[in-house]
Chain A
Amino acid sequence: MTLLAIETSCDETGVAIIREGRVLSNVVASQTAIHAEYGGVVPELATREHLRNFMPVAAEALRQASVTPAGLDAVAVTRGPGLPSALLAGLKAGQALAFCLRKPIAGIHHLEAHLYSPWILADPPRGDFAQFEPSVSLVASGGHTLLVHVRGLFNHRVLGATLDDAAGECFDKIGKLMGLAYPAGAQIDRLAADGNPKAFQFPRPMLAEANDDFSFAGLKTSVRYFLEKNPGLLDDPRRLRDVCASAQAAIVEVLAGKTARAARRLGARCVTASGGVACNNALRRELAAACAQAGMRLRLAERVFSTDNAAMIGILAERKLMAGAGEMDLDAEIEPNWALPLA
């Protein structure tokens, strides 16, 4: 099966071509590069950009894959959750394409695609579901932070989620408080590499609590208080790196600690992590250490498939269509509030 997949749930316009589990092309028109120039804010976010980007991105994905529209057997699109107007741009483009080609269209859950993205290899890029095994999975990005029990392929239940800020949002907002440019997550990761994570003590929100939920708003606020009480600290590059390392340690310890604990409780033998925050080096190290200690396998999403992309949508859609699932009507609507099933 050759499939064209579309992702437009938030900022990124993504189109990928998938064939028999292989990623033939994966094009993302990232607005992040443009955002950074504006120092923390985003010009013309979302909708209008998706409309502008879609045709060139789709044409480029087809060109890189050496596939023509007539060679497509199916279309896949992110149906939700996400920003309604952004989802609508991708869904209607996909439906129009499927209608013209008289081919089936799959409506995919954005978070489900992240959830199974650790089972996509990067080089060469292809699905690796032969290795699939049940897991406890952390999905952490700018907009989402959740812990999911994956009991089998497409059989999953949400164990917990953030009550307020997502982990990636916490990175970005702490970065903003420190005067770093948007998006700050990657910069904090870089600066923290040369900092002392024990230099300052920030709270580990909800680490000790018995549930699988997260909360990062209080940590952000405590960094704010700390910076206000220590004016001038950020003028010293060494201390700035220490603040980055210390704040990062707080976020990462909570994410890795709660993930490992849930995995032990549920007897999972595998842990996976995906979403943009899964690119964070400290989180990758912390998860690796926790899993090694508990004798669990760790499967991290490849960096290229961690942030929003259409390849993960297409890989999941192909599996679903082959299993007789996921197909939607040509006039199906977006699902902006689509939730994964709860435990």
Chain B
Amino acid sequence: MATFISHSIAETAALGEQWGRAASAGWLVGLSGDLGAGKTLLAGGLARGLGVTGRVPSPTFALVHEYPGGRLPLWHLDLYRLTTRAEIAAAGLESYLCRPQGVVVVEWIERWLEEQSGPLAPGVRMRRVEIKIAGDAERRITYEDFGG
């Protein structure tokens, strides 16, 4: 388990960007954190690190945004409007959670994992990330890698 303390929006985005530059195909980044913690911000940084240009808005309503333009294809999911595995599957999102050809970043990943904290399936490499609001600008970002 690693911990990163971010003091600003810029630092959170930069952490994502660093992860994006190092990302390889078949990687899933699962994000947890309250409304306003900075999940979309971190995902946006990750997209930029992969070479995605342009906006990376919140996928809350669309549920999934696809970015084919970077070094690897990126899928940005948001499970905020769904609560259980059954609902996520019914929305047709299950198939996104294992994409060997690209990178997947999922906001509100706990909605999928429910009680489980480990990897999603054999062969899936996952970084489980928790963002805690520690102050008006400060965020405590902890993460742990599973699988691979």
Show the binding face of A for B, using Cβ within 8 Å.
Answer: 10, 38, 41-49, 81-86, 141-143, 161-166, 168-169, 173, 176-177, 217, 220-221, 224-225, 336-337
Contacts and interface: CB of A to CB of B under 8 A. Distances in A.
Contacts of B133: 224
Given A42-B81, A45-B82, A217-B36, A84 B58 contact: no
A297 to B, nearest CB: 30
A224 B136 CA distance: 10
B68 to A, nearest CB: 7
22 contacts: A42-B82, A43-B87, A44-B87, A44-B90, A45-B81, A46-B90, A47-B90, A83-B62, A83-B64, A83-B91, A85-B91, A142-B60, A143-B61, A161-B55, A163-B55, A164-B40, A164-B57, A165-B57, A165-B60, A166-B60, A166-B61, A337-B66
Nearest to A50: B92
B63 interface: yes
Given A177-B35, A217-B36, A143 B91 contact: no
Interface of B is mostly: loop
Contact of A220 (B36, B82, B91, B136): B36
A143 B55 CA distance: 14
Interface in B71-125: 81-83, 86-87, 90-92
B41 interface: yes
A188 B27 CA distance: 40
A169 B91 contact: no
A176 B58 contact: no
Given A84-B64, A143-B62, A336-B66, A44 B91 contact: yes
A42 B136 CA distance: 30
Given A41-B87, A224-B34, A225-B136, 20 more contacts: A41-B81, A41-B82, A44-B87, A45-B91, A47-B90, A48-B90, A48-B91, A83-B62, A83-B92, A84-B64, A86-B92, A142-B61, A163-B55, A164-B40, A165-B40, A165-B60, A166-B57, A166-B60, A173-B35, A221-B36
A65 B34 CA distance: 47
Contacts of B58: 164-166, 169, 217
